[in-house]
Amino acid sequence: MTRSMAAVDIAVAEEGEKVFVFGNAPTALFRLLEHDVAVNGVIGVPVGFVGAAESKEALTQSGLPGIARAGS
């Protein structure tokens, strides 16, 4: 488990409204999508070659309110 994934686990456990912004860690975005949590919004723009494009595509297919930049 990466530190960014652990941070997502901590954040989803917090009470209240949630907005997530991912700019560097596709693993963290994937981790959020594993949780069944209500969010007010997700901005998913991780960069890189490993998992970046796939994580953004997963966000767009998830049904969560969010913005994702296409590609890697």
Residue 31 half-sphere exposure, CB side, CA atoms within 13 Å? 19
Where residue 71 falls among pLDDT bands split at 50, 70, 90?
Answer: low
**pTM of the predicted model, to two decimals?**
0.89
The answer on pLDDT for 70 being more than 80 is no
- Residue 49 pLDDT: 78
CB-based contact 20:41 (threshold 8 Å): yes
pLDDT tens-digit map of 25-54: 899 999 999 998 999 999 998 888 788 989
Strand stretches in 1-72, DSSP E: 19-22, 41-44, 66-68
- Residue 4 pLDDT: 94
**What are 20-23's contacts with CB under 8 Å, separation 24+?**
22/46, 22/55, 23/47
